[in-house]
Structure 1
Amino acid sequence: MRQLAARAWHRLRGSWQWRLLWLAHAKFMVGVTGVVRDDEGRVLLLRHRLWPQERPWGLPTGCAARGEEFTQTVVREVREETGLHVRTGALVRLRSGYRLRVEVAYEAVYVGGSVRIDPMEILEARWFSPDALPDGLQESHRELITPTAPAPASARTGADS
């Protein structure tokens, strides 16, 4: 049966193979986050209008456009949401996320501009010291900012005991 399937696959060739693969596999959105720091080591956090009221604070985040390099997604999203200019650095997270989402995060450095928030998405933009982060910060973003911080007791698994 496998040999028959292999022969049929080879006869399809090119675009038909691609179409079958496309139909058979999951389609993903790519969420891209920037951990933007200034020259004092502070991190840029945004109070998002569309996020849950109990967790409105987070890093600049958005979805990659088709064909866009993820580093450029960080630059674009930060500029759109805050008016600030950044330069991307190291990749700090790449993992599967909620449902059909891939999550990508990069370190980024503030290089210029002044804050001009997009009021449709953002309520406030502020710089925070990593040791004085606001309440209501997304936990996954807290982990990106302070990756060596111990997980809260509620997040630990039995394997740590």
Structure 2
Amino acid sequence: MKKLMAGLWRRISGPVQWRLLYLSQAKFVVGVTGVVRDPDGNVLLLRHRFWPEGRQWGLPTGGAKRGETFEQTVVREVMEETGLEVKVGEVVRVGSGFRLRVEIAYAARYVGGGTLRLNSLEILEARWCAPDDLPEGLLESHRLLIESSLP
């Protein structure tokens, strides 16, 4: 039976194989986070409007869109939420999140864009914080990302 299945698999074309794989596998949302630092090593933190009260501070975060790389997601999310430009660096963490969510975090550095222009629909406040002076209400997982990405 295994040989028969393997033979059938090899005989069907690539697009059919991909379609069968797509239909048979779980689908995931990919959450992407940027640990953005300025030249002095301060971290960009945002107070998110839609996050739970008392845990609204966190790093720039958002969902990957179809067709974009995760690095592009970081650049887009930071630009959308703050108006700042960043250059994405190395992966800081990859892990599974809530239910069918994959989470990936990248180190990034501020490269331009001038003053903060907040997306008021999503972001209540933004500030650059020294890694040893982080605000109350910062998500613990984001605190660990900041600590694990120290230079």
Normalised TM-score (structure 1): 0.86
Identical columns (%): 64
1:3-37 residue CA offsets vs partner (Å, 9 max, x unmatched): 22223323332222211111111111111110011
1:50-74 residue CA offsets vs partner (Å, 9 max, x unmatched): 0001210000001111121111111
The aligned residue for residue 56 of structure 2 is: 56
5+ unaligned residues in a row in structure 1: which ranges?
Answer: 150-161
Aligned alpha-carbon RMSD (Å): 1.6
Matched, 1:142 2:148: no
3-state SS in 2 of match to 1:68:
coil
Matches of 1:26 and 1:78, distance apart in 2: 29
The aligned residue for residue 156 of structure 1 is: none
Matched, 1:125 2:123: no
3-state SS in 2 of match to 1:146:
helix
Normalised TM-score (structure 2): 0.92
Q: Is the 8 A contact 2:92 2:149 kept in 1?
A: no
Q: Is the 8 A contact 2:33 2:60 kept in 1?
A: yes
Matched, 1:93 2:93: yes
Q: Is the 8 A contact 2:107 2:149 kept in 1?
A: no
5+ unaligned residues in a row in structure 2: which ranges?
Answer: none
3-state SS in 1 of match to 2:148:
coil
**C-alpha distance 131-116 of structure 1, shift in aligned 2 (>3 A):** same
Amino acid at match of 1:66: R
- Runs of 4+ off more than 3 Å: none
